[in-house]
């Protein structure tokens, strides 16, 4: 039902957009070659603002006659705000989406709201895996960023040294470490009762628990999304929660910000979270001496779960499509990608860009060159109904509150695959 409502909104958006155009560009159509005019970019979170500004500044050195404005729309449900803006004719010329990681961008494509960038943007910098989040039916509708959005175990180095704990080299050692930390009255892992936070704990756990299954997620062959390794790892997380490994009152931690705060304030020894959270960790506590490691498998091998992140799409209702595509094309250059990755302090998804921070390099090195596909991305990409990821998002927390069993959740998800 949610998808149908969005589709209805977008049909209205296209009618309104084609009549009125994007409000952000009205009154300034720009030149026919796209080298002048005004465009507006929307992003969903303030953590990307500085990087966006740096890219815009570099763009304007080459294209001084294109005015690029931006808005950070972190003031509500981003996609609801975006759909409303498109419908009213006030939508941006370019905007961020999750790409094919969620249903939103494919829905926009289906309803004609996005410009097909396949032949208008030089994507030669990106490999096939990187382009996966941009591709719908063999065509490209967004420009990726070469930041590897992965998951990692952050740990308090001073706390580890004080107690004589060592970074585990096998999966069994990792489990033993959790019990040892808990035995000393310290919360082993900071975690939040929120689907995305739990996912970023579950996926690297799955990679360490069964790397062979995780490797098969890449092309999703000879497996299902809810095979026994998935069920075992979900149950293992539930068992860890019941054992107090996430803290005695962890279900009161309801978002990522609170989860990070528990780690940066010294109330937890570790925090399993996204690589992009390193900047927030450092900002919360500049004096925190912390490192990162990947959860190892039983044979000691490690890998990183994740993909390059998605970037900007161009609205087909823009009054200045050529200027917007010109900006999108600049975002695909080595210059813009380097600016973005290094200003984010991110883990590079390519050897052509160096990490700009010690922690980003540490995360990259911890994966030993192995990379696994996100399990949640498989749900988004291969759901026969288009609802598997929605089911996961709605119900993942319920296995931790006792409202559902792991098998009930997995059966529910599999029914959508």
Residue 60: its pLDDT value, please? Answer: 97
Quick one: angle between helices 195-209 and 388-395, nearest 10? Answer: 110
In this structure, the dihedral spanned by the alpha carbons of residues 202, 203, 208 and 213, taken in order and rounded to 10 degrees, is 120
Report residue 227 as tokens. 């095979």
**Are 253 and 398 members of one domain?**
yes
In a domain, 359, yes or no: no
Instruction: Provide the domain limits for residue 288.
Output: 149-307+364-414
Measure the CA–CA gap between 13 and 22, rounded to whole angstroms: 10
pTM above 0.85, yes or no: no
**Are 109 and 256 members of one domain?**
no
Residue 76: its pLDDT value, please? Answer: 83
In a domain, 351, yes or no: no
Measure the CA–CA gap between 86 and 108, rounded to whole angstroms: 11
* DSSP one-letter string for 324-338: HHHHHHHHTSHHHHH
**Are 287 and 244 members of one domain?**
yes
Measure the CA–CA gap between 371 and 305, rounded to whole angstroms: 6
**Are 26 and 113 members of one domain?**
yes
Sheet holding 312-314, edge to edge: 66-72, 37-43, 94-96, 312-314
Question: By CB neighbour count within 10 A (0-12 exposed, 13-18 middle, 19+ buried), where does 215 fall?
Answer: middle
Per the CB < 8 A criterion, the answer to whether 263 and 154 are in contact is yes
**Are 121 and 265 members of one domain?**
no
**Are 137 and 195 members of one domain?**
no
**Are 132 and 162 members of one domain?**
no
**Are 79 and 171 members of one domain?**
no
Residue 253: its pLDDT value, please? Answer: 92
In a domain, 356, yes or no: no
In a domain, 208, yes or no: yes
Residue 36: its pLDDT value, please? Answer: 86
Measure the CA–CA gap between 330 and 333, rounded to whole angstroms: 5
Residue 286: its pLDDT value, please? Answer: 96
Measure the CA–CA gap between 36 and 383, rounded to whole angstroms: 42
In a domain, 358, yes or no: no
**Are 75 and 206 members of one domain?**
no
Domain CATH code at residue 374: 3.40.190.10
Residue 27: its pLDDT value, please? Answer: 36
Ranges under pLDDT 70 in the chain: 1-34
The number of domains in the chain is 2
**Are 228 and 273 members of one domain?**
yes
In this structure, the dihedral spanned by the alpha carbons of residues 72, 78, 83 and 89, taken in order and rounded to 10 degrees, is -20
Report residue 302 as tokens. 């490690």
**Are 102 and 225 members of one domain?**
no
**Are 229 and 294 members of one domain?**
yes
In a domain, 131, yes or no: yes
In a domain, 128, yes or no: yes
In a domain, 167, yes or no: yes
């Amino acid at each position: 039902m949610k998808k149908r409502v969005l589709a209805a909104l977008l049909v209205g958006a296209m009618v309104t957009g084609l009549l009125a155009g994007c409000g952000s560009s009205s009154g300034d159509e720009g030149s026919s070659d796209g080298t002048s005019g005004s465009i507006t970019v929307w992003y969903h979170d303030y953590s990307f603002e500085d990087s966006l500004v740096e890219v815009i500044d570099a763009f304007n050195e080459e294209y001084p006659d294109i005015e690029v404005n931006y808005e950070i729309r972190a003031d509500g449900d981003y996609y609801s705000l975006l759909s409303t803006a498109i419908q009213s004719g006030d939508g941006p010329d370019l905007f961020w989406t999750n790409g094919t990681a969620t249903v939103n961008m494919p829905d926009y494509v289906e309803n004609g709201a996005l410009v097909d960038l396949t032949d208008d943007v030089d994507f030669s910098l990106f490999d096939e895996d990187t382009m996966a989040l941009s591709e719908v039916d063999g065509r490209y509708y967004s420009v990726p960023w070469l930041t590897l959005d992965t998951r990692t175990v952050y740990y308090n180095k001073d706390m580890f040294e004080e107690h004589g704990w060592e970074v585990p080299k096998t999966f069994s050692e990792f489990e033993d470490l959790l019990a040892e930390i808990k035995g000393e009255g310290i919360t082993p892992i900071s975690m939040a009762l929120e689907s995305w936070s739990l996912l970023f704990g579950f996926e690297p756990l799955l990679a360490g628990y069964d790397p062979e299954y995780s490797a098969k997620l890449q092309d999703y062959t000879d497996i299902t999304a809810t095979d026994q390794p998935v069920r075992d790892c979900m149950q293992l997380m539930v068992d860890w929660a019941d054992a107090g490994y996430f803290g005695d009152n962890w279900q009161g931690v309801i978002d990522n910000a609170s989860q990070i705060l528990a780690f940066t304030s010294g109330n937890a020894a570790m925090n399993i979270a996204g690589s992009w959270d390193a900047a927030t960790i450092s900002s919360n506590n500049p004096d925190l001496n912390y490192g990162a490691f990947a959860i190892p498998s039983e044979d000691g091998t490690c890998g990183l779960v994740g993909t390059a992140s998605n970037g900007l799409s161009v609205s087909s209702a823009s009054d200045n499509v050529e200027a917007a595509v010109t900006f999108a094309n600049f975002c695909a250059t080595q210059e813009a990608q380097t600016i973005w990755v290094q200003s984010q302090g991110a883990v590079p998804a390519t050897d052509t860009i160096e990490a700009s921070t010690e922690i980003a390099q540490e995360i990259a090195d911890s994966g030993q060159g192995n990379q696994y596909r996100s399990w949640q991305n498989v749900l988004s990409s291969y759901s026969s109904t288009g609802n598997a990821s929605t089911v996961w998002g709605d119900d993942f927390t319920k296995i931790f509150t006792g409202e559902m069993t792991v098998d009930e959740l997995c059966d529910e998800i599999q029914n959508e695959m």
